[in-house]
Amino acid sequence: MIETPSRALVPPLVTVLWGKTGEVDRDMPDDAWHPLLFHMIDSANVAGQIWDRYLSTAMRTALGPPGIGRALYMWLAGLHDLGKASPVHQKLSPHHYQRVHAVVPHTAECEEGFPHARLSAYMAMEILEQEEGWSFEVALWIADVLGGHHGTFPSGSGTHDPERRTVGGEAYRQARRFLFDSITEYCGVDLDRLRDHIPNMGAQLSFAGAVVMADWLASNSGYFGYDSSETKPEESLYRKISEQTARDRFQEITELNRVWFPEPGDSAHDLYRRRFGIEEPHGTQTLVDEIARAAANPGLMVIEAPTGEGKTEAALAAAEILAGRFGFNGLFFALPTQATSNSIFDRLLKKWEESQPLKPTVSLVHGKARLKKEFTELPSGAVADGGCDSLTASSWMRGSKKALLNPVAVGTIDQLLFAGVAARYLQLRHLGLANKVVVIDEVHAYDTYMSEILHRTLHWLGWHGVPVVLLSATLPPNQRRELLNAYSGAPNLTLEGSGYPRVTWVEAPTMDQRLAWKEGDGTEPALLSRSAETRRGSNIRLEFSPEAEDGDLEGILGERLRGSPKANVLVLRNTVQRAQDTYDKLRAQFPDFEIRLAHARFTARDRERIDRELMDRYGPPEEKRKRPTHSIVVATQVAEQSLDVDFDLVVSDLAPIDLLLQRAGRCHRHEREEGERGTLTTPTLIITGYHRGDDGPPRLLGRTRRPYDHHLLYRTLAALTHPEQRPSVNVPEDVPHLIELVYGDTEIGPRSWQEVMTDARKDCERHRSRLEAHAHSVLIAEGDPEQPALSGIHPFGNDHRVSEDEEEAAHMLPVRHGADSVEVILLRRTSDAQAVTVSRVVKEGEEESPVTIPLDRTPPKKLISHLGDQAIRLPLWQLDKTLPVCPKAWERAPWAKRLRVLLLDATSSGRQGGKTYTYSPETGWKPQQ
């Protein structure tokens, strides 16, 4: 029981109510317990530390006016478990219920189906509305935040009265009122000052996540321990113990070293020089800097510029300026794939983050981040005396629900999109995002399904007032408008300005604007679009070469390559199989050429090696470059992103116009010395990958829309071969016109093409409608300025969960359309049936030695990086219906239990079910026909 000098003032039931027990939590002996009042005090104290040491100024301001926010947050965190003061909850621990029953006999059976989080919402409504006289609307938002602390928000908090036997009689009511008053007094909350206060829905959602964070940290039995003693300290003494524990051990519990302290300086030149070593930022970068520094409020920025314009550096500079000006202390950089996420993580570690004067806690956020050595080997943030002068990581802030809590994070777009779907504990993701500036790269690369989820996520980022920076080489006008509308909520945006490169900005709306728009009135948010000068410009000659049926490029390349003293060519194919087939043919046709292959179906180690070799040979001119004399690189879309490579000639399969222009950016990308390009002195893009039609439209490859809708392919070819189109494209001048023409509704193309193009358009529209409907089946609800409560934000109830593994998550609540691929660890079997030998990571010039990985026991942690090297993503249709699984002996290790292993034999061949496949470092994964 709780000792108190004024026992007569404390309802006897309060002294025996348990908040944590070993019998329920399993971390402690069954008879160990922690009083409910003490856990409520712990949660309030932890919330105070989160407020002081973690939450951004912007987020603190969003909860309420000065003097309200900290106490209000502590109060919410302290009250979250009020519902445990009920017989239905106390009976969950039979051993400890004996003590409760001895004080207040309660023999009636309790109604099931009322978890304590829901009871917390009901009880808060009962006290605030019925006893304190608050309005239903104000009491409701408080109840929703409390009721959602187990992952989902109850629908209609307080409107359904549970059976009285569930919540107990008068003794329980008095105990709850005492707990309520005790926490209210302890947190210093003035109820009269709060009775008319309703934060906007963004603040409600993020602070609902902050309540969960406080609860989870306060539930750590290693710090806020509970024991088997019958008598507990008096409340006044425990308040001091709890406060000191929360203050002194916060960094140790969270492993949080520091949040991010942006210091953008006074000028673009200063910022770019300190962060990136760039002495003279160019047009796009200076325009981004100017707009960010002039913004009156947070907003959404869209940066459109050709490849090689330094968009990544511009986005990071914008993030630092916006964070510094508007009080944010974190960053999340979202990318399309794990590979691009890993690449940007490495770049951030080497340049941007290391140049920060105070090093923040950082994270790599995707399903296989635990296999990335550069991340896993970062020191823990659990260091003494408030600081470590190097980047740190937090093991507590890992996993699908907590990873975005890290102050600085890089990860896949999936991690961001999970904030837009009805997943449990989505409020934790919103807490992480509400503190940050969000950067989204390659925003044009997402299909209709993902775009719908992205729009809903941007909608909520707008509610949070989070600055967002979107990056793209090019955006169709409709897509740009949809992104701006999603974030701002404005019904009709009038976007003026043209040109390319382009930077567009729209402010996050105010609550008054949202209300006015809902009533069909109001003014648009601040909106501007400005073009920048570019340091790059080129006139690219276009050639069109329909392929022979077998895809042979000899006729296209033979004469011009063999007649040039130097030639380095990039051939881009739309699918891996086409790239592999082309690679095989070119090796036979051009035996004197160095020929390489790059696509997504290599292991992580080989992907990294290939990318490094491509950069060493075809990157920006430097003395150390080993640029070949005669070479051909055959690649898929992997060469479009994240690689600053330069070729003398580019051959590409037909693709949508924006991607073709991006591919063309790999041709004559950098200035070369005279004669270095041989006879290939004119930038040329050869478009192939289709068959010539007989007096009609061309015949496109493949019978399905993969990887691109045929509708866009026809329009792209029609636009580029139009009689009025020059036999060249001037970049960047021609880019806006061509994008608008292909993605617009104007009829283009010869008359003989129109029937086929119309059918392709209708098929595309049907497909997009299906994807939109599918996306809307998983989305969370939109915010409502007239009814600002979280009830109903989970339209599908409490059953949705998101796994830490992206493949599992795709089946549970997908943010990508269909689980069409799976990541496996590709290993090669040795003669030992219980072990396999894999490729190694070695120092340059060092002999490779075998690395044996056991299958009959958990691999030692020192082999994590080797396993990460062997990760490869494979399409499901190339595998047997029975997917690879984790070896049984590995399942005991948290870091290994989600790994799927696929074994090759000693010849690097394998068979699963009825399918045979091979793997080599030169050609990658290849199923046998």
Residue-wise pLDDT tens digits, 432-483: 999 999 999 989 888 889 999 999 999 999 999 999 999 998 888 889 999 9
Domains (ranges, CATH) in the chain?
7-235 (1.10.3210.30), 268-531 (3.40.50.300), 538-731+747-764 (3.40.50.300), 820-927 (no CATH)
Distance CA 858, CA 838 (A): 16
Distances (CA, A) of 510 to 170, 515, 783: 45, 9, 13
Look at the pTM and tell me if it is higher than 0.85: yes
Q: Are 78 and 183 in contact (CB under 8 A)?
A: yes
Contact criterion met (CB below 8 Å) for 527 and 640? no
Of 37-46, 151-160, 592-601, 875-884, the least confident = 151-160
* pLDDT at residue 164 greater than cutoff 60: yes
pLDDT of residue 230: 79
Residue 61's pLDDT band, with cuts at 50, 70 and 90, is very high
In eight-state DSSP terms, residue 779 is: B
pLDDT of residue 371: 75
- What stretch of H or E contains 119? helix 116-125
- The predicted-structure confidence for 98-110, as pLDDT tens digits, reads as follows 889 889 886 566 6
Over residues 113-136, mean pLDDT: 91
What was the pLDDT predicted at 138?
Answer: 94
Cα–Cα nearest to 859, from 824, 885, 903, 896:
896
More confident residue, 789 or 590: 590
What is the pLDDT, as a whole number, of residue 818? Answer: 58
List strand residue ranges (DSSP E) for 314-446, in order: 330-335, 362-365, 408-412, 436-440
State the residue for tokens 């830490």: 804
**What value does the mean pLDDT take over residues 635-659?**
88
Q: Identity (one letter) of the amino acid at 318?
A: A
Best-predicted range by mean pLDDT (315-329, 521-535, 746-760): 315-329
Rounded to the nearest integer, the mean pLDDT of the chain is: 86
Structure tokens given for 566:
């130097």
Task: Yes or no: say if 576 and 638 are a contact pair by the CB < 8 Å rule.
Answer: no
Residue 241 in tokens: 């113990």
> What's residue 571's pLDDT?
96
- Across residues 687-696, what is the average pLDDT? 84
| Cα end-to-end distance, the chain, whole Å | 74
CA dihedral of residues 197, 200, 201, 203 (deg, nearest 10): -90
pLDDT, residue 629, reads 92
pLDDT of 110? 62
